[in-house]
Amino acid sequence: MPKKAKPARNGEEEGPVPCKQGKLEAAQAPSTLNFESPTVLFESLISPITTKTFFKEFWEQKPLLIQRDDPTVATYYQSLFRLSDLKSLCGRGLYYGRDINVCRCVGGKKKVLNKDGKVHFLQLRKDFDQKRATIQFHQPQRFKDELWRIQERLECYFGSLVGSNVYITPGGSQGLPPHYDDVEVFVLQLEGEKRWRLYRPTVPLAREYCVEAEDRIGQPVLEVTLKPGDLLYFPRGTIHQADTPPGLAHSTHLTISTYQNNSWGDFLLDTISGIVFETAKEDVELRAGVPRQLLLQAETTTAETKRLSDLLRTLADRLEGTQELLSADMKKDFIMNRLPPFYIGDGAELSTPGGQLPRLDSTVRLRFQDHAILTVGPDQERSDEMREKMAYIYHSLKNRRDTHMMGNEETEAHGLRFPLSHVEALKQIWNCSVISVKDLKLPTDEEKENLVLSLWSECLIQVV
């Protein structure tokens, strides 16, 4: 999903594309989606299919096709991104490779037709018209407010990064050969018609991306032509290809993708180091040295494998009684790289504390709960082996929309750290709709006030 930046000619990487935030496009069609909450948003996206049916029968299992003969939905989908949008967007400083790819499927192979440097609309339109090339626009939510609004809600719903790409393909042309992706994909048809062919996955729930899958695709399990307003979902690992039928000017579709590197295996790799670290404090077996010259051996002996298996069982036993898993990277990576909350205006409410200053006699509530995480981890300001655990709050209120899902763009963690003794009080704030400051589980009134003042200054709570 993330797209890496393309180096400029002088060898230095171009800066991020400037992005105006806050103002909704004047031509935006009335939304047919319900943004009341992340759950309601997703329900409206896949309607009339219920979420219960979706996750029981389709999610990570098989494709879902929703065809809608509804002009209102079609008009709304068409407003999300049009070919005509490219002219104004090219004037905002887009670059080949980073923001736009131009490609075509020739002889079953992907042929990239990118130029160097900045994208100029006249050249882009020339390649589109004369070379019948597909325009792939990376992460349009950086520029289109309604896509920001949709994807921000979906990131709250899935608890995972949500990226998107727009594909604009001339009639009688195909941009990409058969391939499969390592993400769950939702396809929204925006303009024209697009023919899709889906095949059985050669690698179910694929982790790796395969460019050439045509020699293993077999017969399609689904062939369908999408029209504006239609939605298609298929799980990661599903081989697919799409083309625009002859006779049409062009076709535009949007892919919304999620759950990249978000498997049980990823989570286990993320948490196992914390489990080992904590268990080793109490279990002398984990602190015993490995056999001499173990690292020099070409093969592991049966006795060594048995010893390792026993230690893993010990970790599994400890895990069953653990309520707090130490997430080394996944939680922090998600909150650092996700979209900031959607807003209309200058975003002042996300950066400047507002409302009454919290005191001991105040009642407070958490703001932007979907955009903040509470986690526990070793003290990151100490490097010695006896690092104590600390409570960390990370949030995405100050994240940059213009770098969302752009791969190697630098990101910064925003948040607070507290002594481990503050965890229970923080959980009270996280788990209660409202709570009195004086009821927080801290030994002194001073600590209670200092805690809520810290959260208030970071715009994470407000007085009610």
Domain CATH code at residue 366: 3.90.930.40
Domain residues for the domain of 369 are 330-463
pLDDT at residue number 12: 39
pLDDT at residue number 274: 83
pLDDT at residue number 20: 43
338 and 220, same domain (yes or no)? no
Position 229 pLDDT exceeds 80: yes
CATH number, domain at 311? 1.10.10.1500
311 and 374, same domain (yes or no)? no
184 and 230, same domain (yes or no)? yes
What pTM was estimated for this model as a whole? 0.88
Find, among 214, 203, 212, the residue nearest to 236 by Cα. 203
List for the chain the helix, strand, coil content (%; round to 5): 35, 25, 45
Position 13 pLDDT exceeds 50: no
Domain C-terminal end among 221, 242, 258: 258
Summarize pLDDT for 292-333 with one digit per residue, the tens.
998 898 888 999 999 999 999 999 988 887 767 777 789 999
Domain C-terminal end among 219, 240, 258: 258
pLDDT at residue number 215: 54
DSSP H or E stretch at residue 445:
helix 445-457
283 and 243, same domain (yes or no)? no
Domain-embedded: residue 26: no
Lowest mean pLDDT among 2-11, 36-45, 167-176, 378-387: 2-11
Confidence of residue 15 (pLDDT cuts 50, 70, 90): very low
315 and 354, same domain (yes or no)? no
Summarize pLDDT for 249-279 with one digit per residue, the tens.
999 999 999 999 999 999 999 988 888 888 8
Domain-embedded: residue 10: no
Query: How many independent structural domains does the chain possess?
Result: 3
CATH number, domain at 45? 2.60.120.650
311 and 342, same domain (yes or no)? no
193 and 108, same domain (yes or no)? yes
Dihedral (C-alpha) 429, 397, 368, 390: value to the nearest 10 degrees? Answer: -20
CA dist 54 → 46, 49, 64, 221, 381 (Å): 8, 7, 8, 19, 44
Position 27 pLDDT exceeds 60: no
Domain-embedded: residue 44: yes
Domain-embedded: residue 19: no
Lowest mean pLDDT among 218-222, 305-309, 384-388: 384-388
Domain C-terminal end among 295, 320, 345: 320
Backbone torsions φ then ψ of 306, nearest 5 degrees: -65, -40
Domain-embedded: residue 52: yes
192 and 253, same domain (yes or no)? yes
pLDDT at residue number 1: 52
Across residues 368-387, what is the average pLDDT? Answer: 79
Across residues 410-426, what is the average pLDDT? Answer: 92
What distance in Å separates the CA atoms of residue 335 and residue 397, rounded to the nearest whole number?
Answer: 9
164 and 48, same domain (yes or no)? yes
